[in-house]
Amino acid sequence: MRAGEPKTNLGEFFVFGFEGKTLDRETRHLFSTFRPGGVILFKRNLQDPEQVLRLTREIQATNPASPPLVTIDQEGGRVWRLPPPFTRFPETELLGRAGLESLAYAAARVMGLELAAAGVHCNLAPVLDLNTNPANPVIGDRALGADPRESARLAAAMLRGFRDHGIAGCGKHFPGHGDTHADSHHTLPVVGQDRETLWAREIAPYRILIQGTPHLLEMIMTAHLLVPALDPESPATLSRPILEGLLRRQLAFPGVIITDDLEMKAVSERFSLSEAAPLAFRAGADLLLCCHTPDALPLCVDALERSLQRGHISGRRLLRSRARIRDFRTRLFRRFPPPSVRQALFRRIGCPQHQQVALEVLSHRHPSP
Length of the chain, in residues = 369
Q: Which of 93, 149, 86 is nearest to 126 (CA)?
A: 93
Alpha-carbon gap, residue 219 to 236, rounded angstroms? 16
- Round the CA-based radius of gyration of the chain to a whole number and report it: 19
Q: If phi over 0 gives left and psi between -120 and 50 gives alpha, with beta otherwise, what is residue 166? A: left
Helix (H) or strand (E) holding 24: none
Alpha-carbon gap, residue 313 to 296, rounded angstroms? 20
**Is residue 260 annotated as part of the catalytic site, yes or no?**
yes
**Is residue 327 annotated as part of the catalytic site, yes or no?**
no
73, 141, 260, 261: the active-site residue: 260
Alpha-carbon gap, residue 178 to 25, rounded angstroms? 41
SS3 label, residue 252:
coil
48, 164, 183, 185: the active-site residue: 185
Amino acid at 80: W
CB 116 within 8 Å of CB 337: yes
CB 253 within 8 Å of CB 223: no
CA distances from 231 to 100, 132, 171 (A): 37, 22, 21
Q: Catalogue the active-site residues.
A: 185, 260
